[in-house]
Amino acid sequence: MAKARTPEQLSGNEQQAPQDDLLQLIQFLRVNGLPILLGVVIAVGAVTIVNMYRRRARLLADSASVMLGKAMQQQETAARIKQLNEVMAQYPTTTAAPLALMGVAKAHFDNGKIDIAINKYIEFQSKYPEHPHAVGAELGRLHCLEAMRSTETALQGFEAFLGKYADHYLTPQAGLGKARCLMALGRTNEARVVCEDLVVARPETTWSIKAERLIEETRRKPRPMPQYTFPAPTDVGPPPMGPLTTDPGQAPLLLPSPPQGPMALPEGGLVPEKRPPEPEPVPEKAPEASKNVSGDAAQP
């Protein structure tokens, strides 16, 4: 094993080498030190800014989530819609914004404002086409079409939805929507087949229970509309002509001739016939007691 040599044993070139390296390092720092220092400062500043941005975004997301939760707990529809709109206005870049928009659409649908609800669902699809709830927005739009009695359009949409999202968790709802549209169009047998397929595909689930209820509705015989019939008038012949008397003490009444052709009802419907008032009966006077005219009763 070679022994380490002392400085006295080193040659002149070997002693000069460390000094040259140190001089080169100093020279390098003189030339590139400032750029290196600036680079380090920029890197540290960038990391700091990113961490601050992430922290702020996390705080905003937490605040938006809290506000969204409070809004969804509102029982009054108008107050819920107002707070959800505030969530979208104050936190438009957070993950709570699309959820708030979906909540607004559903609140309008539940409140019967179908025209506003369908516009909100369309807005969601245009703003967040890649969002996981975009499929739910599409289904909500179809439900709005069904509620607006656009049955044919809604049916085509439900069929397209089932073909595109065969394994989606919202597929059973689309199947029920298709069945309802078929029933509304009078295609009861097709609606029953759709419901039976849903029961087989999703046994013992909420969807199968709803499908079975629709099946029962398809099996019910439609109740006939009540038929309102009016008795035909009795053919008693033409009214009597000539004088008609109701009381021996009254003058005879002359009836007009009956009209020829179909009878036309006066405006306002049938008017009850006006009859002359019946004469009040005259009370009979009691016979007066006979006066005693005998001579015995007469006074002188």
Q: Give the start-to-end residue ranges of the domains of the chain.
A: 96-219
Measure the CA–CA gap between 52 and 213, rounded to whole angstroms.
56
pLDDT for the residue 273: 53
Half-sphere exposure of 71 (CA within 13 A, CB side): 25
Measure the CA–CA gap between 87 and 71, rounded to whole angstroms.
9
Burial of 50 (0-12, 13-18, 19+ CB in 10 A): exposed
Across the range 28-33, mean pLDDT stands at: 70
pLDDT for the residue 119: 96
Confidence check: pLDDT of 88 > 80: yes
Measure the CA–CA gap between 258 and 238, rounded to whole angstroms.
7
* Domain 96-219 = CATH 1.25.40.10: yes
Its pTM stands at 0.58
pLDDT for the residue 32: 73
Two tokens, residue 158:
């439900």
pLDDT tens-digit readout, 115-130? 999 999 999 999 999 9
pLDDT tens-digit readout, 154-198? 999 999 999 999 889 999 999 999 999 999 999 999 999 999 999
